[in-house]
Amino acid sequence: MKKRRLWGKIKQTCFMGIRREYIMLIAPSMLSSDFARLGSEVEKITEGGADFIHLDVMDGAFVPNLTFGAPVIKAMRPYTRVPFDVHLMIEHPLKYIPDFIDAGADVISFHLESADDPAETVGAILAGGAKPALAIKPGTPAKAVFPYLDKLFLVLVMTVEPGFGGQSFMPGMMEKVRALKDRRPAVLVEVDGGINPETVVQCADAGVDICVAGTSVFRAENPAAAIAALQAAKR
């Protein structure tokens, strides 16, 4: 049986997907961590106040990079009870959903642009007891997600081209955030790419709920202070 996760401010600020007060939630991305010390890196950002832990899975086909898979995520799971936010940048997510749920994923996002049927993949995530999310690349319009919004925990809007960390934030993606919130205010919107103390303000203004932050957290002298500064962003 899975241990109960510590949802922290997520439950304090959200009820049935509706924000009760505005607090920016931060999901440090393990893509920017020291891969030789994954367990201690997870512990560090847990102690630093992370709301989620973001795990980027890349297959070298859907995006031109390779990272890690379900076995590595499973190895990290004992080091924290913070929810695991797993982002699948892979061609065929559907057949791997059971593996990632078994590894301890709490939220699973997959790309609308992947080869598998979105409705079927969302159904598999729900059937496994995890929370489903759809991710969209910068070139995909927000309206492409609209048919699935009533089944989703969140929508992940990429603010860089997926595949590598350390890219520059694309401010034009905030129009997608506004379009999603206009269409379904209850859905959570997460953004990923180029998040720092300056760009997080633009995200807050647009209505973003969760920011994925990699280099701005893991390369900070004080990761806890970096997380707190990002969480303090106000609309």
Contact 131, 107 (CB under 8 A): yes
Q: How far apart are CA 50 and CA 213, in angstroms?
A: 10
Question: What was the pLDDT predicted at 2?
Answer: 46
Domain spans in the chain, listed from the N-terminal domain onward: 9-161+172-231
Nearest C-alpha neighbor of 189 from the set 107, 121, 133: 133
Strands 53-58 and 84-89, bridge-based pairing: parallel
Task: At 147, list the tokens.
Answer: 């048919």
Query: For residue range 143-182, what is the model confidence (pLDDT) as tens digits?
Result: 999 999 999 999 999 999 987 666 789 999 999 999 999 9
In this prediction, residue 23 carries a pLDDT of 84
CATH number of 9-161+172-231: 3.20.20.70
CA 83/CA 67 separation, integer angstroms: 20
CA 222 to chain centre: 22
Beta bridge partners of 109: 87, 133
Residue 192 is predicted with a pLDDT of 96
3-state DSSP assignment of residue 123: helix
Active site residues: 56, 192
The yes-or-no verdict on residue 65 having pLDDT over 50 is yes
Output phi, psi for 185, to 5 deg: -55, -25
